[in-house]
Chains A and B, each alone.
Chain A
Amino acid sequence: MVQTSTAPLPSSARPYVGTGQRRIDGVSKVTGQARYAAEFPADGLLYGHVVSGGALASGEILRIDTRAAEAVAGVVRVYTHENRPRQPWFDSTYQDQVAPPGIPFRPLKDAKIVYSGQPVALVVAQSLEVAAYAASLLEITYREEPFRTDLAAEQSNAYVPPEKRAGIEPPPPDRGDVDRALAEAPVKVEASYFVAAEHHNPMETHASTVVWNDGKLTVYDKIQGVVASKEYLNEVFGLSPDDVHVISPFVGGAFGVGLRPQYQLFLATMAALDLRRSVRVTLTRDQMFTLTYRPHTIQHLALGAERDGRLTAIRHEAVAATSTFEDYQEVVVNWSGLGYRCPNVAFDYKLAKLHTYTPSDMRAPGAATGVYGLECAMDELAHAAGIDPLELRLKNYAEEDANTGKPFTSKQLRECYRQGAERFGWSRRSPRPRSMRDGRELIGWGLATGFWEASMQQTSARAVLSADGGLELATATADIGTGTYTILAQIAADAMGVPIEQVDVKIGDSSLPASPLEGGSWTAASAGSAVQKACFGLREQLFHHARAMEGSPLANEVLERIIFTGGRMEVANDPSRSVVVADVMAALGLEKLAAEETAKPDQDAQENYSGYTHSAIFVEVRVDEELNVVRVTRIVDAVAAGRILNLKTARSQILGGVVFGIGMALEEQSELDHRFGRFMNHNIAEYHIPVNADVRDIDVIFVEEHDDKVSPIGVKGLGEIGIVGTAAAIANAIFHATGKRVRDLPITPDKLLRDDVDGVSSGMARAG
């Protein structure tokens, strides 16, 4: 029904798509009625508290004494590796939907310690407080083995991952002759850049409430896709599909940490099945730092150019952290092959094993890291060549994806540059560093380009129209704050010509039509296309019924000429010929009419085109000359992301990504203490994320971009693009303000205070 080549949003009037709509779940969130995973009640609920392992990152548990904990009134059971129920033997059973190559972490598997802070016991008690208190009473002795957590030291042991992670493109083949091009380049820059490890830190900590009912489980889990939790539980606990129902209507932020089922889900389910009781396990904020993280990554870039700024060579190398047991991979260096036109490009992407938990996707995984390096290097090149940074980017504008040789499905990046620069006032920039100031504050203006893959995934959805005019949509997908509920309602309301108030959206439930994890910015395109296709299925059924009715004004009409609007089907350009949808339902005696459809990416478009979202981000910083405190005072982010469904929620997505980028640039770092192999600042007083006072004016521009290839509804997605490039633009603005090039994120005042700052600190490789 849906032709992906024609971007067929309904031909009828579109009162909702493309406008700014209030979130349909907004009232439930502002009144406290929206329930998250730890907030669903259950009769006789027990509370599990996780005991985190000690200050070592490798070794084994020699002895674990649970007697004191068990003696506390109200404690029901203490689970350790010694007394846990039997579990499946094969590691592969524990692989979730996005598990990277390797052996997944298995909670309480045995006495081995594989990372610092790993769960070593679960205390189950009748109250939250008793569980937490009793958990503090375990006496555990360990035998420590040597461990490695220092990425800089492990660079020499880095390796190309032998097995590719599904869905992650390894670096493309090198092209041209980079060595020679660099040797001959009249202008070149070479430097190393460091991105710190970061933890996602959604405001809601991870939690699972497992409601046990005669052997059947209803599981409320914090997850970016209920199907992932359900599949994991079915496999690991050998449960039949009918025995597990996973529900997650609201997710209190995730940013990637909810892509893989986390250990609290395993532990809560294990206890519930064993005790035949309902169990809830909620992680503490500290324990959120024992989950996955954005891998710290060392990058080395070399750029060569002609004197006029035309790129002749790019070499982009990266070494990223992974765990000892899994090879987590993301796309870090590939961006340098498609961001700009350049004949000679070489890539290298390696991993270094550390005794930490496995890193995983965090908002714009790989791109936030790799594009930071590329865009800082481009700024350095602009400075070295004496060319305006914007002009340099326009001079090297890529008209095709040179990594694949394919044209882009659409690319309005030039317009992003133009509109962003105009709004920001870029032409008034004084090119010389330290040349703009206001009193004791140095002012700097910087820019960067953002790139993110635009993709869609196969998704199913059901649309059910009721005789009373109500329209219910159902798909298993998630809304992690992205606005999924609302955009689906908008698409359906437009497709069926009904007021948005009549649309009810059911998501976050494993019993609904299958949907992939919410991630990769693909949900709007995927679930949106599926919902539209289901609505089109309804339209087709309604039209056939209406046309067949006796004396139908639609007789001899074809569906393509029918507009659904105001609860009616009417002939385009002839509204006098129309049928009321409710009359059709009544005439047929139908209480409900349903259509379920599956939307898939268009194979032809996928094979022949390259789909990317683009942005141009302009930043003003003010740096106190004496204190070296950086304030980001103004940001303009111009984004080309295909069709924008909801101006309100779309803008919020970009604002959120940009704020994440501010954190990445100036504040966020999970600091490993190599003596204990532990992230030491494991709370949000010491792990700094942006607060309200850190964020000033952020202006979002959506550049008009028509794309009839990227997805059936022309949507590219917005969840990641806001962060990509932001840290680079801030770093570049700081250079412009201060003349200091800090290549080591986050750029904290101590780094700006150093006199020898033109390089990376923290023991990272110096600039070449």
Chain B
Amino acid sequence: MQATETDTRSGNGTGEPSRIPVVLTINGTERRLEVEPWTTLLDLLRERLDLTGSKKGCDHGQCGACTVLVDDRRVNACLTLAVMLDGASVTTVEGLAQDGQLHPVQDAFVEHDAFQCGYCTPGQICSAVGLLKEGRAQSDDEIRELMSGNLCRCGAYVNIVAAVRQVMDGTGAGR
């Protein structure tokens, strides 16, 4: 609770923190941004770009609510500094639906009632999209294991597995 070190991070003599230019493609749109070195991808999305679909549940990589896709791989946006992503492509839950049509995973989540409060849901969905791309999960047990980085306090796991399974089997309204 107590800290004695002096402030060494925020001052650069001008009273303004240093900012670093980065180019990110976010949901298909190229964004030229200047970010502080300590700004996480999650805070950038939520606080600066008003993309609040990605959620902050712990800010420590423990809950997975912030899961987004960086170059098609699922990552915890809270553990990813924005400056590390120069040139990367980021897909958030807001970028999954195309032309007003839900992504099959989104549709399957609604159909199977794979959420309740909805707060972990964007992370679950991005994680599931990443999981499907990885192609590692075949059985329900493997889905459970590989989706275990995304906590759901409402306890929708049975339905999350069913939703992922449906898309995996191609029985969903797929594209």
Closest A residue to B161 by beta carbon equals A692
In the complex, what distance in Å separates the CA atom of A27 from the CA atom of B53?
A: 12
- Looking at the complex, which one of A136, A139, A252 makes contact with B117 (CB distance below 8 Å)? A252
Could you say which residues of chain A place their CB within 8 Å of the CB of B141? 693
Interface segment, one of B35-43, B69-77, B167-175: B35-43
Q: Are B63 and A73 in contact (CB under 8 A)?
A: no
Query: With A30-B106, A129-B38 given, is the CB distance from A252 to B119 under 8 Å?
Result: yes
Interface segment, one of A409-417, A479-487, A704-712: A479-487
Q: Are A138 and B125 in contact (CB under 8 A)?
A: no
Q: Are A31 and B106 in contact (CB under 8 A)?
A: yes
In the complex, what distance in Å separates the CA atom of A255 from the CA atom of B154?
A: 9
Closest B residue to A657 by beta carbon equals B155
24 contacts between A and B (CB under 8 A): A22-B113, A30-B93, A30-B115, A30-B118, A30-B121, A32-B51, A34-B118, A38-B56, A54-B2, A73-B15, A74-B10, A133-B9, A138-B2, A139-B2, A140-B2, A203-B120, A203-B151, A253-B153, A282-B56, A684-B57, A692-B145, A692-B150, A692-B157, A693-B144
Shortest CB-to-CB span from A136 to chain B, Å, is 5
A32-B93, A203-B55, A481-B116 are known contacts; what are 15 more A-B pairs with Cβ within 8 Å?
A23-B110, A36-B119, A38-B56, A73-B11, A129-B43, A133-B7, A139-B2, A253-B117, A285-B59, A285-B60, A651-B113, A652-B154, A652-B159, A684-B62, A693-B145
Range of interface residues on chain B? 35 or more
In the complex, what distance in Å separates the CA atom of A395 from the CA atom of B117?
A: 40
Which parts of A266-298 form the interface with B (CB within 8 Å)? 282, 284-285
Could you say which residues of chain A place their CB within 8 Å of the CB of B109? 26, 30
In the complex, what distance in Å separates the CA atom of A41 from the CA atom of B10?
A: 25
In the complex, what distance in Å separates the CA atom of A252 from the CA atom of B152?
A: 10
Q: Are A480 and B117 in contact (CB under 8 A)?
A: yes
Shortest CB-to-CB span from B29 to chain A, Å, is 15
Could you say which residues of chain A place their CB within 8 Å of the CB of B147? 692
Could you say which residues of chain A place their CB within 8 Å of the CB of B20? none
Closest B residue to A251 by beta carbon equals B117
In the complex, what distance in Å separates the CA atom of A31 from the CA atom of B17?
A: 34
In the complex, what distance in Å separates the CA atom of A539 from the CA atom of B106?
A: 37
Q: Confirm or deny: A561 has a beta carbon within 8 angstroms of a beta carbon on chain B.
A: no
Q: Confirm or deny: A767 has a beta carbon within 8 angstroms of a beta carbon on chain B.
A: no
Q: Are A202 and B36 in contact (CB under 8 A)?
A: no
Contact with B along A643-682 (1 / 0, CB 8 A): 0000011011101111110000000000000000000000
Could you say which residues of chain B place their CB within 8 Å of the CB of A253? 116-117, 119, 153-154
The 7 nearest A-B residue pairs measured at CB: A32-B53, A659-B155, A252-B119, A481-B117, A481-B116, A29-B118, A656-B155
Could you say which residues of chain A place their CB within 8 Å of the CB of B54? 32
Q: Confirm or deny: A308 has a beta carbon within 8 angstroms of a beta carbon on chain B.
A: no
Q: Are B151 and A285 in contact (CB under 8 A)?
A: no
In the complex, what distance in Å separates the CA atom of A253 from the CA atom of B152?
A: 10
Query: With A30-B115, A55-B1 given, is the CB distance from A692 to B155 under 8 Å?
Result: no
Q: Confirm or deny: A204 has a beta carbon within 8 angstroms of a beta carbon on chain B.
A: yes
Q: Confirm or deny: A527 has a beta carbon within 8 angstroms of a beta carbon on chain B.
A: no
Closest B residue to A255 by beta carbon equals B153
Which parts of A483-515 form the interface with B (CB within 8 Å)? 483
Which parts of A194-245 form the interface with B (CB within 8 Å)? 201-205
Which parts of A23-74 form the interface with B (CB within 8 Å)? 23, 25-36, 38-39, 41, 51-55, 68, 71-74
Shortest CB-to-CB span from B168 to chain A, Å, is 15
In the complex, what distance in Å separates the CA atom of A203 from the CA atom of B123?
A: 11
In the complex, what distance in Å separates the CA atom of A685 from the CA atom of B117?
A: 21
Q: Confirm or deny: B80 has a beta carbon within 8 angstroms of a beta carbon on chain A.
A: no
Could you say which residues of chain A place their CB within 8 Å of the CB of B113? 22-23, 26, 648-649, 651-652
Shortest CB-to-CB span from B28 to chain A, Å, is 15
Query: With A39-B52, A128-B43 given, is the CB distance from A133 to B148 under 8 Å?
Result: no
In the complex, what distance in Å separates the CA atom of A311 from the CA atom of B1?
A: 55
Query: With A250-B117, A692-B157 given, is the CB distance from A203 to B62 under 8 Å?
Result: no
Q: Are A202 and B115 in contact (CB under 8 A)?
A: no
B54, B96, B116 pick with most chain A CB within 10 angstroms: B116
In the complex, what distance in Å separates the CA atom of A282 from the CA atom of B42?
A: 15
Closest A residue to B107 by beta carbon equals A30
Interface of B is mostly: loop
Q: Are B116 and A482 in contact (CB under 8 A)?
A: yes
Contact with A along B110-152 (1 / 0, CB 8 A): 1101011111111001000000000000000101110111111
In the complex, what distance in Å separates the CA atom of A694 from the CA atom of B145?
A: 9
Q: Confirm or deny: A760 has a beta carbon within 8 angstroms of a beta carbon on chain B.
A: no
A33, A138, A252, A648 pick with most chain B CB within 10 angstroms: A252
Q: Are B94 and A31 in contact (CB under 8 A)?
A: yes
Q: Confirm or deny: B47 has a beta carbon within 8 angstroms of a beta carbon on chain A.
A: yes
Could you say which residues of chain B place their CB within 8 Å of the CB of A252? 55, 117-119
In the complex, what distance in Å separates the CA atom of A168 from the CA atom of B100?
A: 49
Could you say which residues of chain A place their CB within 8 Å of the CB of B22? none
Q: Confirm or deny: A691 has a beta carbon within 8 angstroms of a beta carbon on chain B.
A: yes
In the complex, what distance in Å separates the CA atom of A34 from the CA atom of B54?
A: 11
Q: Confirm or deny: B65 has a beta carbon within 8 angstroms of a beta carbon on chain A.
A: yes
Query: With A30-B106, A252-B117, A692-B160 given, is the CB distance from A71 to B7 under 8 Å?
Result: yes
Interface of A is mostly: loop
Could you say which residues of chain A place their CB within 8 Å of the CB of B84? none
Q: Are A31 and B96 in contact (CB under 8 A)?
A: yes
Q: Are A31 and B102 in contact (CB under 8 A)?
A: yes
Query: With A73-B15, A138-B3 given, is the CB distance from A35 to B52 under 8 Å?
Result: yes
Q: Confirm or deny: A331 has a beta carbon within 8 angstroms of a beta carbon on chain B.
A: no
Q: Confirm or deny: A606 has a beta carbon within 8 angstroms of a beta carbon on chain B.
A: no
Could you say which residues of chain B place their CB within 8 Å of the CB of A134? 7
Closest B residue to A252 by beta carbon equals B119
Q: Are A691 and B118 in contact (CB under 8 A)?
A: no
Which parts of A1-31 form the interface with B (CB within 8 Å)? 22-23, 25-31
Could you say which residues of chain B place their CB within 8 Å of the CB of A127? 47
Could you say which residues of chain B place their CB within 8 Å of the CB of A692? 143-145, 147-148, 150, 152, 157, 160-161
Q: Confirm or deny: A102 has a beta carbon within 8 angstroms of a beta carbon on chain B.
A: no
Could you say which residues of chain B place their CB within 8 Å of the CB of A255? 153
Closest B residue to A663 by beta carbon equals B155
Q: Confirm or deny: B99 has a beta carbon within 8 angstroms of a beta carbon on chain A.
A: no
Q: Are B3 and A31 in contact (CB under 8 A)?
A: no
Could you say which residues of chain B place their CB within 8 Å of the CB of A689? 151, 153
Could you say which residues of chain A place their CB within 8 Å of the CB of B9? 133
Could you say which residues of chain A place their CB within 8 Å of the CB of B36? 129
Q: Confirm or deny: A130 has a beta carbon within 8 angstroms of a beta carbon on chain B.
A: yes
Q: Confirm or deny: A137 has a beta carbon within 8 angstroms of a beta carbon on chain B.
A: yes
In the complex, what distance in Å separates the CA atom of A614 from the CA atom of B120?
A: 30
Which parts of A105-133 form the interface with B (CB within 8 Å)? 127-130, 133
Which parts of B1-51 form the interface with A (CB within 8 Å)? 1-7, 9-11, 15-17, 36, 38-39, 43, 46-47, 50-51
Closest B residue to A32 by beta carbon equals B53
Could you say which residues of chain B place their CB within 8 Å of the CB of A660? 155
Shortest CB-to-CB span from A21 to chain B, Å, is 9
Shortest CB-to-CB span from B42 to chain A, Å, is 10
Could you say which residues of chain B place their CB within 8 Å of the CB of A693? 141, 144-145, 148
Q: Confirm or deny: B156 has a beta carbon within 8 angstroms of a beta carbon on chain A.
A: yes
Could you say which residues of chain A place their CB within 8 Å of the CB of B161? 692
Q: Are B148 and A203 in contact (CB under 8 A)?
A: no
Could you say which residues of chain B place their CB within 8 Å of the CB of A139? 2-4
Q: Confirm or deny: A683 has a beta carbon within 8 angstroms of a beta carbon on chain B.
A: yes
In the complex, what distance in Å separates the CA atom of A16 from the CA atom of B5?
A: 62
Closest A residue to B122 by beta carbon equals A32
Q: Are B110 and A22 in contact (CB under 8 A)?
A: yes
- Looking at the complex, which one of B1, B17, B117, B149 makes contact with A54 (CB distance below 8 Å)? B1
Shortest CB-to-CB span from B82 to chain A, Å, is 11
Q: Are B62 and A129 in contact (CB under 8 A)?
A: no
Could you say which residues of chain A place their CB within 8 Å of the CB of B65? 203
Shortest CB-to-CB span from A730 to chain B, Å, is 14
Could you say which residues of chain B place their CB within 8 Å of the CB of A39? 46, 52
Could you say which residues of chain B place their CB within 8 Å of the CB of A30? 93, 102, 106-107, 109-110, 115, 118, 121-122, 125
In the complex, what distance in Å separates the CA atom of A38 from the CA atom of B156?
A: 23
In the complex, what distance in Å separates the CA atom of A525 from the CA atom of B45?
A: 39
